[in-house]
Amino acid sequence: MAHPYEIVELAQRLGKLAEHKIDGINEINRASSYLAINALIESARAGAAGAGFVVVAREVKRVSTQIGELANSLSLDLATEIKRLAELGDEVLRRMESQQGQRLTDLALNLIDIIDRNLYERSCDVRWWATDSAVVEAVTHCDVASAAQASQRLGVILDSYTVYLDLWVVDANGRVLANGRPDRYPGVMGSDVRGQPWFERAMDTGSGNDFASTDIEALEPLGGALVASYSTAIRRGGAAHGEPLGALVIFFDWHTQAQAVVGGVKFSDEERERGRALILDSNHRVIASSDGRGVLTEVMKLPALKEPTGQLRSRDGALLGYAKTPGYETYRGMGWSGVITLRPAPPAQRPALTVA
């Protein structure tokens, strides 16, 4: 089945071919016309002996005139039809691009929706784990025994929830009292986290129904791993409106989980080498990419995305579909976007066209 770009290329080549052949006809016709004129001149010089050639010369000139008129008419007719063929090809290309762009947009929406649903669960986890009795006791008493019990409890949670790197219990002064993986991250317990956005925002939450989330970062105490941090205040008695006594922060294993999502985008075989799936934060910074490039370093400079979903052409010619975070349930998202890009196919990969 022919691709639309073949129609456009064929129209262009047919136009050049028609122009070349008609120029050839006109060249031959001009030569014939010159011969007819020369024959008339020579027959006039020959007098009565050349009278017979006059008739032939005039007929050749008449036929030459008809050929010229036919060539001009053919040139005009072909130009009109070839232009229409090119327009049809362009129209098909536009429709195909629109359909392909819509498909990329759908993939981008599905991508960010999976992320939102996943992170909604994280926001639920942190809020209900902050009411766990061992966690509440740790910030209530702030002693070695309650901290050890909290660490043990957090370790049990981590054994069941493999999407987390660590969970921390922090007192009201910003000192880490307990973490779930002290063997893996021995330098965490006792560290001071005052000034960290996830701690400060957790302590500022209005109730146990609220939580804080921060942009993706590489966290040094966790070996520089990329994390999505979710936190909330731990309140006296585990009550929703109790006094804030400290904070619980959970560190989602962002790189592993996000890479599985962007790497799982269903590109066709033809698209796979040219396609790229991305998650951008609110500043258009790449926080996940299917090819693993540009994470936390690349900024995709997009125009203002006024609509929640859409498609556009980037400056390098790539077709791009995007979808802003729609949020899920009580999780409203952080202004992130799912983006799918598709680079143009190299000309060398297009089938060669031949016109006889």
Both 248 and 266 in a single domain?
no
83 and 48 share a domain?
A: yes
Token pair listed for 252: 């989602």
Phi, psi of 164 (to 5 degrees): -110, 145
What CATH number did the domain enclosing 60 receive? 1.10.287.950
H or E stretch at 264: none
- In a domain, residue 110? The reply is no
Residue 125 in domain: no
User: Distance (Å, rounded) from C-alpha 61 to C-alpha 36?
Assistant: 6
254, 289, 322 - which closes a domain: 254
Instruction: Kindly state the DSSP code that residue 185 receives in the 8-state scheme.
Output: S
Q: Tokens 């779930």 correspond to what residue?
A: 180
Instruction: Verify that 267 and 288 share a domain, yes or no.
Output: yes
The verdict on 228 and 263 lying in the same domain is no
Query: Of 149 and 78, which is predicted with more confidence?
Result: 149
Closest CA to 136 of 165, 177, 99: 177
Domain count, the chain: 3
Please give the average per-residue pLDDT across 146-151, as a whole number.
96
Within a domain: residue 242?
Answer: yes
Average pLDDT over residues 265-288: 91
Q: Which of 207, 230, 254 is the last residue of a domain?
A: 254
Residues 274-297: what's their mean pLDDT? 94
Give a yes or no: residue 343 inside a domain: yes
Q: Check pLDDT > 70 for residue 156.
A: yes
What is the CATH number for 186? 3.30.450.20
In whole angstroms, give the CA distance from residue 235 to residue 131: 8
Res 305 pLDDT > 90 = no
Domain that holds residue 88: 4-95
Cα distance between residue 167 and residue 138, in whole Å: 13
Q: Give the C-alpha separation, 64 to 75, whole Å.
A: 16
Segment 27-32 mean pLDDT: 74
Provide the percentage of residues in the chain whose pLDDT is more than 70. 85
252 or 50, greater pLDDT: 252
What integer best gives the mean pLDDT of the chain? 85
Check whether 347 has a pLDDT greater than 60.
no
CATH assignment at residue 309: 3.30.450
pLDDT tens-digit series, residues 325-343: 988 888 888 889 999 999 8
pLDDT of residue 318: 85
Task: Assign 146 a pLDDT band (cuts: 50, 70, 90).
Answer: very high
